[in-house]
Structures are given as structure tokens and as C-alpha cells.
Structure 1
Amino acid sequence: MRRDSLWFHHDFRQLWAGQTVSQFGTYVGQTVLPLLAATTLHASPLQMGLLTAAGTAAFLLIGLPTGVLVDRVRRRPVMLTADFTRAALLLTVPLAAWADVLTLMHLMTVAFLVSVATVLFDVAYQSYLPSLVGRPQLMEGNTRLQSSLSAAEVVGPGVGGGLAQLVGAATAALTTAVSYLVAGLLLLRIRRAEPRPRSQDGTGVRAQMREGLRFVRREKSLRAITVSTALSNLAITVLLSMQILFLTRDLALTPGAVGAVLALSGVGGLLGALTAGRCAQWIGPARAIWLIPLVISPVALVIPIAEPGWLTVLCVLGLAIRAYGTTVFNVVNVSYRQAICPGRLLGRVNASVRFITWGVMPVGGLLGGVLGNWIGVRATLWVTCSALALTSLPLLLSPLRTLREFPVVRTEDEEEVPSRI
């Protein structure tokens, strides 16, 4: 192993370990909280859609001003505050359940407030990484972090489903609260002092938000990536809002079996993380941004074909292949954005992209709930999986289609505008 590998970078190891633990807890939570709503609290399709919307609403409501905040302050304290806040909020779920006062409204409120803290953490985290490891090691750093996320996507749902069956979904939520607490403690072990943010010259919050959006709009390839990702996230959130109902009611699976299905489907994401670097090198990182979604997205159409019994494997297959493509896409997409964006704008650009690409998710949750109530859960999956197959079109119409490598641009403290590719 090379001595310049991030494996030997003490501070990156703390960030990586913290993210590994918190992502594990996140995927446990993403399994047990919907199970809690669907099985214990007997939520309807519309209520499941509302819960999904609550868990992503903050990206739409505070995404842009969060980018301004992250560019004005040191990023690690923001990440610490977010982790400890999420731990405290999620602790209220088992406490309320043990006291027999847990309601769907409580669950939705916790989901919304956790989403606020997640917005703060995610924007700060993606903006913090380049200053921690340096731009030449961004691909390695993002690959390692994505590997942990994908491993958590495999292990977390299985553990969450098993715990929900053994001790109840509410008690299993305690695992997620503890994971955020541990992640925050690991962040405290980072030794390197974070540089003071550059002065913003007294520019107002609205002007700074517009500056981040302007960068995304002017950089043609980044604009296409953002539009494609937003369309994909909209469709995927509709799918996720109905996923637990489809597994528990249409496919008649127990909580433990639901966890197993989600864990097996997460293997695709893990394989994607392990092969993302090689895949990008073989195809070309710029080409991988459009080619992977083009090939992978249509496979989701096998998901609604699944039936109780052995045909459940079709659901696993469709989810696993989609997870593979999403993971490879995320690694090259985030690395592209971090590579071309000036450091002084990175927080606002990350927030602008998140505002657009994640801001559609509460809409997807609501749409999933409405469609599920109107045409049924399985029909809703047919609609959303068909839509997923078309989400790569903006990428095919962008300049990325003619590129193999990322463009060479001047970044960080230089004032040159981005290349208009």
C-alpha cells in the first residue's frame, strides 16, 4: 500500500470511521422507522408518503442558506452540532414508545428535524473533505467514504429488520441515535486545525446564494448532472415511499425478511463502491457520469414484477443493480463537482446542487403517497420505475457525452470562471 494513501492519513481515518458508523445507523433507521410506521402505527400509503416527505423537506426549505452558512464558518463544528443533535432527536423515539405515547406526528416531527441536521452535516461534510485531504486525493477519499456507505447499505437494513423483529422497531431506533453520538466523538479526534473561511466582503446572504446557483447554471455539464440527478431522485423517492408497504403487504414479508431483502439489494451498492475507481478509470470518469445511468436505470423495471415467493428475487435484483449504478455515479459526480469548483464557492455550490437534487425528494414522497392511495402501491412502482429509465436524457444532451476525462480548470483561490463544458 502506498505511503501517500489516505489509509495513513490520521484525520481522514477519523472522518471515515465516523461516517462508517453514522451511515450504518442511518440505514438501520431508514429500515426501522418506516417499519414502525407501517406495522406498529398502521400508516396508510398517504401517511407513508408524508413521513418520507418530512424526512427530506429540509433540503428544499433550508438548502440554499445552509451553503452560505457553511462558506462563512468552519465546517467541522457544524458537523459536530448536526451529529449530536440527530442523536438526541432519535433518542426520543424509543423513549416515547416505551412510555406508550409514540404517534405518527411525533415520528414525522423527528424525521423533519433530523433532516434539518442532515442538511447541515452533508453540505459541511462535502465542503470539508477537500481541505482535509487535498484535491489530488478526492477520488480516493470519496471512493473510501462511498464504500462505507455501501457497506452500511448492506449491513444496516438486515440488522434493522432483525432488531425490529426481535426487540421491536422503536427500540431498534436506539441504534441510530447511538451511531450519531459515536460519529460526533470520532470527529472530535481530528487534529488538523481547519483554515479560517475567506472573507465574504460583506456580500448579503441572497447574493451569495445566487452566486452558488449561478455557478451551477453556467457550468453546462454540472447543470446537466444536477437536472438528471433531480429527476432520478424524484422517481427514487416515490419508489422509497412505497417500498416498505410493497414488501410487507404486496410481497407479505416479515420485518426480518424485509431487512434481508434490503440488505441483499445493498450488495449492489457495495460492489459499486469497490469498483467505482476502476470503472471510472476504464470507462473514463466523465464518460461514466452519463453511461452508467443510461445502462443501469432501465433495470428497475423488474421491481414491480415481483410476487410473493421466489419471484421476490426480482425485487432484490432490480434494487441491487440500481444501487450499483447509483453508487458509481455518486463517486464520479461528487468528485467532478469538487474538482471544478473554487474552494470559496464549494459550500454554496454543494448546497445549490443539494437544494435542487434533494429538494425534489419531499415532492416525491408526497407524490408517492398520493399515487399509492389513488392507483395502488404496485401501479405506483410501475410509474416510477418507467420514469427512472428516462432520467439519463439530460446527460446525453450535455458536453459530457464527448469527454472521457474531467476538464482541467483553475480552481481554489483563482478567480477564473469555470470552463463552459
Structure 2
Amino acid sequence: MAANTATAGTTTGSGVRGRDFRLLWTAESISKTGSAVTTFALPLVALRTLGANTLMMGVLNAMIWLPWLLGGLQAGAWADRHRLRPLMIGCQLASAILLVSVPILAWLDALTMGYLLAIAFATGCSNVVFTAAYHAFVPFLVGKSDLLAANTRLTGTEQAANIAGPGLGGAITQLSSAVLGLFADAVSFLVAAACLRSIRAREPAPGQDERPDQPRTTIRADIRAAIGFVARDPYLRVITATSASTNLLMAGIQALVVVFLVRDAGLSPWAVGATTITISAGGLLGAVLAPKVAGRLGTARTLLTAPVTDCFLLLFPLAGGGAPLVLALAGTLVWATGIVVRNVTQGAFRQAYCPPGMRGRVAMTMRFITFGVWPLGSLLGGALGTVVDVRTALFLLTAANVVTDILVFIGPMKHGRDLPAEPGAQPGDGSRPVTRK
């Protein structure tokens, strides 16, 4: 594999206090806030401007995630062979151009559902490539010693952006229109690109640090090695299967949320924004609580809490005006908190557990599977919402999510308090927590 500096371990030495990391942090915060606005505004554009039906809402959500299925595996290996900063800048600029075209066509009364689906797919492709490059670029800037601190800051601001974005999107929609929210997102991508361009650190050419006699492997071989590692490992295999089943059902739920709250429950766009804000608030709370929960219960046992917290999502289909909405949001908050606690625990485990030379590819392989099922889940939700009423469809999907949580008990996590620190090791008793590097 071509060893890009960002993946080889060479860093700029600036750390989390350096100017370059602050610029990356700023770019990520601005871009994530804009993306959260788009997640809120794009379905509303389809629903209110184009009059999309339930099935088309499912198709739209599927198009956003389809790139993970088609190119998730290739993106990780491909990013290792290119300079990461220019690649990220290019993705930000492409997303800005794509999104700004939607409000322009809407104002010209030329926007169609087919074009909106194409934009959703194209911006999804840009996001996949950006994610692959972004995860490899962070170690290049900060190094291993500051990697945990850097990811903590980046994750925290991402959750904060997810809270601010829907609220901003709801305000823009209420005061003007959803298409204006997409224009704001396009501007955010341009600002993020400017921040990335201002980073002074420059990566050497990909492959510069390879030995002359070292054979260059193919992208296909790199992908096969990562797939084999995930498929053979009992921990990563079960974590991937559990996450994939959860995302399959969550995609179906997400495809129906806007239709359910606006059409069936008769709520305003503020309710849609409140739901997304609640999920993001739960995510922020989960990021804060994850180390404490894993320390008290153990990292392995933390993953076994899935059926308990997922039960609270059964309250969401009860949403309506007044108290039912409050009850639904409270259940959603508990569910979102549990999801992020487990995701943070799984992420820390994967980083410590995987061989250093495979971390990027293993991460993208697992994302390919867990995000690749999202389009299928979106279509499932859209189809189910046409066969039965939307509220019943949500009850079925949330109940199925609790049932599929039993997959985690099939793996070896149930045999120990903590997850092992390296492949081949036995589950720990708490003496070797995986969060320690």
C-alpha cells in the first residue's frame, strides 16, 4: 500500500494547540453545522416544494447514503494514495457548488425531484471521500499523543453543530423557505474550504517514504486484507453486524420522520428541528458520559446495554401535540445518549485494537457495511410507510431494532468486563482498558 505521511505516522508536531489543528477544527465545525442544516432542509424541500410522497422521501434518503455502498471501500484505500488536504478542499468546493444549484433552480421554478435525487447522491459521494481523507489527516496534524484529545474536541463540536444546525434550519424555514437553508450550507462549505486552504502543514508526496524494493500493492489487495481482518475477528465481526442491523432500521425510521411529524402528527417544522436537536443533545451527552459509563460497567458490558436504551425509542411514534411530543422527545434523548456511548466505546476499542497500518482501511470497511445498508433501510421505511400508516411503520421499525440488539450477545463480549487490547487476547478484567494507548 502506498504509505501517505498521514497514515505512516509522521506528524507536524503542532498538536491540538497548534494553528493548523485549530483551522481544521474550525473547518469541521462550520461544515458540520451547514450539513446539519441540509439534513433538515433537503427533505423539506422535497416535501413542501416538490410535493414528494412517502416512497420518494425514502428514495431521497437512500440516495444520500448510497455512495457508502458503492464507494466506501475504495475511498479509504484511494485516500491513502493522494495528498489529503487538497482532496478535502476539493470535496468542500464540490459540495458547495452542488448545493447552491438547488436554491437557484428552485427560484427559477426549474427544480425537479430527479435533480434533487442526483444532488443528494453527488453530495453523498463528496462526503465519503472527505471522510476517508479527514480521518487520515487528523493523525498527520496532531500525532498519536494528542490523538485522543483531538478526536474528543472534534466529536464534541460535531455534536454541538448537530444541535445548532437543525435549530438554524428550522428558523430559516419558518422565516423564509427550506431552499434558503441549502444556500446557507453551500456558503459554509466555502468557508470550510478556505480554512483548510490556510493550513500550513504540507504532506510529502504519497509513497515518498516507501523503500525502493517494497512492492506496491493494489487497491484491491488492500481492500481484501481489510475485509478479511474484519470478517475473521470475532469482536469486529459482531460489532459490525450489530451496527449494520441498527442502521438498516434507523434509516427506515429517518426516512419517515419528516412525513410523520409534519403530515401525520400535524406539527410545524420546529418539531422536526426539535427532534433532531434532541438526538444531537443526546449525542453530546453520550460523548461526555461514555468514559464514565465504560469505566463503571466495563467496555464490553457497555456494548450490552443496547436493548435497554433502545427500548426508549418506542416512545417516539407516540409524538403529537403537547405532552405526547415531550414524552417522545424524552425517549429519543435516552436512546440517542445510549447510541453515542456505545459508538464512542466501539471507536476507542477499534483504534487500540487494530494494527496501526490497517486502522484507516478497517474503519472504512466497517463504515462501508454499516452505512452501506442505509439506502436499503431508507427504501424499506418508504415502502413500509406506504403499506401501513406511518405511525404503525415507526412502531414496527423501532420494535425490530430492540429485537436485533440480541446480536451483540452472540459475540464474545458477554464473557468479560472489558474488551481485549489486541487481537488474540482474552477479554479483560478491567486491568487493561482499551482506551489507554
What TM-score, normalized to structure 2?
0.87
Structure 1 residue runs without a partner (length 5+): 410-416
Q: Tell me if structure 2 keeps the 8 A contact 1:219–1:420.
A: no
Q: Tell me if structure 2 keeps the 8 A contact 1:139–1:331.
A: no
> Equivalences for 1:155-194 in 2 at 5 Å?
155-194=164-203
In structure 2, the partner of 1:249 is 263
Give the CA deviation at 1:179.
Answer: 1.5
In structure 1, the partner of 2:144 is 135
Instruction: Render the CA deviation track for 1:74-133: whole Å, top value 9, x for unaligned.
Output: 333322221111111111111111111111111111000000011111122223333333
Say which of 382, 392, 417 aligns to 2:405.
392
Say which of 6, 17, 38 aligns to 1:8.
17
SS in 1 for 2:304: helix
Q: Tell me if structure 2 keeps the 8 A contact 1:146–1:327.
A: no
1:380 aligns with 2:393: yes
Q: Tell me if structure 2 keeps the 8 A contact 1:71–1:345.
A: no
Amino acid at match of 2:357: R
In structure 2, the partner of 1:370 is 383
> Equivalences for 1:207-218 in 2 at 5 Å?
207-218=221-232
Amino acid at match of 1:70: A
In structure 2, the partner of 1:56 is 65
Instruction: Render the CA deviation track for 1:237-294: whole Å, top value 9, x for unaligned.
Output: 0000000001101211122332234323432122122333333333334443x13423
Distance 2:250 2:311 in 1: 13
Q: Tell me if structure 1 keeps the 8 A contact 2:16–2:150.
A: no
Distance 1:222 1:9 in 2: 34
1:317 aligns with 2:295: no
Say which of 234, 255, 279 aligns to 1:220.
234
Q: Tell me if structure 2 keeps the 8 A contact 1:59–1:354.
A: yes
Say which of 271, 281, 287 aligns to 2:285.
271
Distance 1:140 1:390 in 2: 35
Give the CA deviation at 1:182.
Answer: 1.6
Distance 2:230 2:270 in 1: 43
Distance 1:251 1:143 in 2: 37
In structure 2, the partner of 1:412 is none
Amino acid at match of 1:35: L
Give the CA deviation at 1:221.
Answer: 0.9
Pair 1:282–1:14, CA change in 2 (3 A): farther
Give the CA deviation at 1:136.
Answer: 4.1
State which drifts further: 67-76 or 362-371. 67-76
Give the CA deviation at 1:40.
Answer: 1.9
Distance 2:215 2:396 in 1: 48
Pair 1:125–1:335, CA change in 2 (3 A): farther
State which drifts further: 77-86 or 112-121. 77-86
Aligned pair count? 410
Give the CA deviation at 1:323.
Answer: 1.7
Q: Tell me if structure 1 keeps the 8 A contact 2:14–2:141.
A: no
Distance 1:204 1:237 in 2: 33
Distance 1:313 1:6 in 2: 43
Q: Tell me if structure 2 keeps the 8 A contact 1:265–1:317.
A: no
Give the CA deviation at 1:405.
Answer: 4.4
Amino acid at match of 2:50: L
1:352 aligns with 2:365: yes
In structure 2, the partner of 1:280 is 294
Pair 1:112–1:72, CA change in 2 (3 A): same
Give the CA deviation at 1:5.
Answer: 11
Give the CA deviation at 1:52.
Answer: 0.4
Distance 1:37 1:362 in 2: 17
CA-based RMSD of the aligned residues comes to 2.3
Distance 1:88 1:403 in 2: 50
What TM-score, normalized to structure 1?
0.90
1:332 aligns with 2:341: no
Amino acid at match of 1:113: A
In structure 2, the partner of 1:83 is 92
State which drifts further: 304-313 or 157-166. 304-313
1:27 aligns with 2:31: no
SS in 2 for 1:193: coil
